[in-house]
C-alpha cells in the first residue's frame, strides 16, 4: 500500500501537524507501507530521512501577497500583536493562515494531486490539511485524517469563511460545506491522537489511538531539576516569554530550557534558549512543562508524568486542551494578563509541589500510552 501524508502548512511556528507527520510517516513505513509526504517549505519544514517528499505551496496569512505577508507577519508576532487576536474556531485558524484563500486552495490542491499521481498513491492522509481532503476526493482515492474534539464543526465554526472553499468545491463538482470543518467528516476513517477522557468525540468513523509516539513509562524521578518552556505561536510573544522566564527563574535551582525559532540561541547561567530541544528525552528530568496548550505539548507532558502550566491565550483549541487538563487536576492555567514573573513563579511552585497533579498526569499518560497508538491506525487503514 502507498500512502501520501499531507500536513497543514503555515508561516506560523507550530510543532503539531509537522511533528505528527513525522511520526505517521515513520510508523507507516515501519509497518511495511510505502510512504511519502507532501509538505510546504514553511518555517516548520524539516526533512524526514528515508521518506520521499513532494512540494506543497505555502499559504500567506489572510491570503496577502508574499512580499507583504513575509514582512508583516513575523513583525506582528514579535510585537505580540497576534496574541491579542481572539480565535474562536479552527476555520478561523485556516482563514488566518491563508489555508482558505481561494487562490491558495487552487494551487495547493493541484500540488497534492500531482504528488498523488507521481507517487501513485493508494490513499491520502490529511494532517489537518484541507487541500489534501479536496485532492483525494477529486482523485477518488481513500482518505484518512487526524481529528480533535475542538476542531469539529459541531464545537464551533464560521460559515462566512467558506466562500472561497465552496467556490473551488463547486468548480470540481464536489458537495459544498457549511464550514471548512465539515470536510474532515468526509474522511473514510479519522483518528484522534488522544483519549476519550480528554476529548469525548461521539462519531463512529473516529478511532482513538492515544499517543502516536512510543514511550517507556517510568516512575517519576525524585531528582527532576528542569523546567521546559514552549509557547508555539500567537499566545505570548517570544521576547515577553524570554523576559518573564528569566525574571521568574534566573538563579533558581532549576535549569530552564526555552524552545523558540524566533529567539537568539544562548545560555545565561541556568537559562538556556535554542530553536529546538529534545523534549522527548528531557521531560523525564522535568519538574514542570510550561506551554501554550497545544495538543502535542499536552500529550508529551502527560506521557512523562509532568505537571503543566498552560497559557492558551485567546485560541479556542488551546483553551479547551488546557481546561481539560485542569479538569483532570494535572496542571494549572495562566491567563495572558497574569503572565508575569511573580505569577508564573507562584504557579510553578503550586504545580511542582502538588503530588496529586503529578499522580494524575502519570495516570493520564499511562492511558495515552496504552490506547494503541500507531497500531490502531495501521490496523484500521490496512
Quote the CA–CA distance of 207 and 203 in Å, as a whole number: 9
Structure confidence at residue 30 as a pLDDT band (50, 70, 90):
very high
Q: Is the pLDDT of residue 26 over 90?
A: yes
For residue 15, the model assigns a pLDDT of 62
For residue 215, the model assigns a pLDDT of 72
For residue 18, the model assigns a pLDDT of 83
Structure confidence at residue 23 as a pLDDT band (50, 70, 90):
very high
- Overall residue count recorded for the chain in this entry: 382
Q: Is the pLDDT of residue 13 over 70?
A: no
What average pLDDT does the structure give for the chain?
A: 92
Angle at 258 between CA 197 and CA 319, to 5 degrees: 30
229, three cell numbers: 518552556
pLDDT, mean of residues 112-140: 98
Phi first, then psi, for residue 278 (nearest 5°) are -85, 75
Q: Is the pLDDT of residue 265 over 70?
A: yes
Quote the CA–CA distance of 226 and 258 in Å, as a whole number: 11
Q: In angstroms, how far is the first alpha carbon of the chain from the final one?
A: 8
For residue 153, the model assigns a pLDDT of 97
At 357 the three-state DSSP class reads helix
If you search the block for the grid coordinates 481546561, which residue do you land on? 323
Cβ atoms of residues 227 and 258 within 8 Å: no
Structure confidence at residue 77 as a pLDDT band (50, 70, 90):
low
**Domains along the chain?**
2-187 (3.40.50.2000), 226-369 (3.40.50.2000)
Structure confidence at residue 19 as a pLDDT band (50, 70, 90):
confident
For residue 146, the model assigns a pLDDT of 96
**Radius of gyration of the chain from Cα atoms?**
20
At 323 the three-state DSSP class reads helix
Q: Is the pLDDT of residue 62 over 90?
A: no
For residue 173, the model assigns a pLDDT of 98
Q: Which tens digits make up the pLDDT trace of 227-264?
A: 999 998 777 989 999 999 999 999 999 999 999 988 99
For residue 86, the model assigns a pLDDT of 82
Q: Which tens digits make up the pLDDT trace of 135-156?
A: 999 999 999 999 999 999 999 9
Strands (E), 77-163: 123-127, 143-146
For residue 370, what is the DSSP state? T
pLDDT, mean of residues 50-78: 75
CA distances from 25 to 4, 49, 154 (A): 9, 10, 30
Q: Is 372 exposed, middle or buried (0-12, 13-18, 19+ CB in 10 A)?
A: middle
Q: Which tens digits make up the pLDDT trace of 313-328?
A: 989 999 999 999 999 9
Q: Which tens digits make up the pLDDT trace of 200-222?
A: 999 999 999 999 987 766 665 56
Q: Is 142 exposed, middle or buried (0-12, 13-18, 19+ CB in 10 A)?
A: middle
pLDDT, mean of residues 294-323: 94
Amino acid at each position: 500500500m502507498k500512502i501520501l501524508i499531507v500536513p497543514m502548512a503555515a508561516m506560523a511556528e507550530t510543532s503539531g501537524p509537522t511533528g505528527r507527520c513525522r511520526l505517521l510517516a515513520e510508523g507507516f513505513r515501519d509497518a511495511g507501507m510505502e510512504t511519502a509526504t507532501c509538505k510546504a517549505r514553511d518555517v516548520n519544514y524539516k526533512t524526514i530521512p528515508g521518506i520521499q517528499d513532494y512540494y506543497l505551496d505555502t499559504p500567506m496569512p489572510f491570503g496577502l501577497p508574499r512580499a507583504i505577508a513575509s514582512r508583516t507577519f513575523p513583525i506582528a508576532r514579535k510585537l505580540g500583536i497576534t496574541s491579542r487576536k481572539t480565535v474562536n474556531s479552527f476555520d478561523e485558524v485556516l482563514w488566518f493562515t491563508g489555508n482558505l484563500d481561494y487562490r491558495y486552495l487552487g494551487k495547493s490542491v493541484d500540488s497534492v494531486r500531482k504528488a498523488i499521481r507521481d507517487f501513485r498513491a493508494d490513499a491520502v492522509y490529511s494532517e489537518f490539511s484541507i487541500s489534501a481532503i479536496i485532492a483525494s476526493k477529486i482523485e477518488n482515492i481513500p482518505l484518512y485524517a487526524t481529528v480533535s474534539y475542538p476542531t469539529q464543526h459541531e464545537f464551533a465554526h464560521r460559515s462566512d469563511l467558506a466562500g472561497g472553499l465552496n467556490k473551488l468545491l463547486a468548480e470540481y463538482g464536489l458537495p459544498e460545506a457549511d464550514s471548512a470543518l465539515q470536510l474532515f467528516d468526509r474522511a473514510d476513517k479519522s483518528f484522534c491522537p488522544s483519549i476519550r477522557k480528554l476529548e469525548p468525540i461521539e462519531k463512529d468513523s473516529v478511532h482513538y489511538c492515544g499517543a502516536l509516539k512510543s514511550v517507556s513509562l517510568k516512575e517519576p524521578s525524585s531528582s527532576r531539576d528542569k523546567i521546559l518552556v514552549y509557547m508555539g505561536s500567537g499566545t505570548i510573544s517570544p521576547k515577553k516569554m524570554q523576559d518573564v522566564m528569566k525574571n521568574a527563574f534566573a538563579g533558581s535551582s532549576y535549569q530552564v530550557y526555552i524552545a523558540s525559532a524566533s529567539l537568539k540561541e544562548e545560555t545565561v547561567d541556568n537559562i538556556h534558549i535554542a530553536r529546538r530541544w529534545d523534549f522527548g528525552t528531557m521531560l523525564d528530568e522535568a519538574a514542570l512543562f510550561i506551554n501554550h496548550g497545544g495538543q502535542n505539548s499536552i500529550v508529551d507532558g502527560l506521557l512523562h508524568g509532568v505537571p503543566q502550566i498552560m497559557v492558551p491565550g485567546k485560541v479556542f483549541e488551546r483553551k479547551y486542551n488546557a481546561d481539560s487538563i485542569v479538569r483532570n487536576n494535572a496542571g494549572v492555567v495562566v491567563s495572558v494578563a497574569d503572565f508575569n514573573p511573580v505569577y508564573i513563579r507562584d504557579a510553578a511552585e503550586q504545580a511542582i509541589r502538588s503530588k496529586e497533579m503529578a499522580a494524575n498526569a502519570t495516570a493520564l499518560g499511562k492511558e495515552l500510552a496504552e490506547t494503541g497508538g500507531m497500531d490502531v491506525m495501521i490496523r484500521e487503514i490496512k
